[in-house]
Amino acid sequence: MIARALFLALVLAVNLPVPAHAANSKYASLAGNPGLRSASAIVLDGQGNVIYSKDENTVRPIASITKLMTAMVILDAGLDLDEKLTITRADRDLIRMTGSRLGFGATLTRRELILLALMSSENRAATALGRTYPGGMEAFVAQMNAKAQALGMHKSRFADSSGLRSENVSTASDLAKMVTAASRYPLITQATTTVRHEVRPYSSKGPLNYGNTNRLLKNDSWNIELSKTGYINEAGRCLVMQANIDGEHVSIILLNSFGKLTPFGDSNRLRKWMLASS
């Protein structure tokens, strides 16, 4: 105990970073293993201390987790969120050939497209956001990568605004930085935790109702502050979240889970492990 106290005093005296679990945290001395099935994972407390990690520095495709960066780049640009944008044939998914309820001619505000891209992972919405950026998609992707470097995400690379391309890659550690940055945007936290939303993209048709892709938002035992799911074959199932667990703000990054419910199961296993040890 004396040696540890002297070590911490030295750390503070020379202004060195405090190792994980050295800072005050209710989860600073967790024992055992939560038994996660995701290939990569990292969990941090509100001070950025690592609570749990697994293969956190391996570079992997991140699928629609990409859309968090898309939203940040749009918001950083200060573009008019109330400007109406129209879906065109250029917004089709020619990589995965996925469909969309936003047909050609559908018109929504930039704000609504951000909301649909984040909460329901609408690919055409995300593509339209990048396409209508000043300079087009090429300039948009360049800014995504510049933003990643500015955040210290040095193992990350972005290739499109939707995450459909497998060249969108990152690590669990890098994504923890991205989630922390995204949490500073009120529109992103609002959009990613909205359970259902109605839009009217057609003047002559009725509304379209969208739901959030994270089923944990419907679970009363969870207090989720930011959320994004992702999936393509190369990435497996992915989930990033910020949540309040028993009064502690926690960031959770789960990558490459081959099983539709595995990220949600892993999240529940993590929460149970943390609560049992606190």
pLDDT digits (tens, 9 = 90+) for 179-197: 999 999 999 999 999 999 9
Count of C-beta atoms within a 10 Å radius of residue 208: 16
Mean pLDDT of all residues in 156-174: 98
| Statement: 26-277 belongs to CATH 2.40.50.140 | no
Q: Which residues are catalytic?
A: 64, 67, 121
Residue 204, amino acid:
S
Beta strand ranges found along the chain (DSSP E): 40-44, 50-54, 60-61, 84-86, 107-109, 169-170, 196-199, 208-211, 224-232, 236-245, 248-257
Spatial distance between the Cα atoms of 101 and 159, rounded to a whole number of angstroms: 24
Mean pLDDT of all residues in 150-163: 98
Rounded alpha-carbon distances, angstroms, from residue 126 to 31, 63, 65, 120, 209: 41, 12, 12, 11, 17
What pLDDT score does 204 carry? 87
What digits encode the pLDDT tens for the residues 59-74?
Answer: 999 999 999 999 999 9
Closest to 197 measured CA to CA, from 82, 112, 126, 124:
112
Q: Which two tokens stand for residue 34?
A: 């939560």
DSSP state of 157: B
Sequence spans of domains, the chain: 26-277
Q: Which residues, at least 6 apart from 5, have a Cβ–Cβ distance to it below 8 Å?
A: none
What pLDDT score does 223 carry? 97
> What band does 33 get if pLDDT is binned at 50, 70 and 90?
confident
Spatial distance between the Cα atoms of 153 and 176, rounded to a whole number of angstroms: 9
What pLDDT score does 9 carry? 38
Mean pLDDT of all residues in 75-104: 96
| 231 bridge partner residues | 237
Spatial distance between the Cα atoms of 174 and 183, rounded to a whole number of angstroms: 15
The DSSP result for 52-110, as a single string, is EEESTT--EE-GGGHHHHHHHHHHHTT--TT-EEE--GGGS-SSS----SS-TT-EEEH
What pLDDT score does 24 carry? 55
Q: Does pLDDT of 246 surpass 60?
A: yes
8 A C-beta contact, residue 253 and residue 41: yes
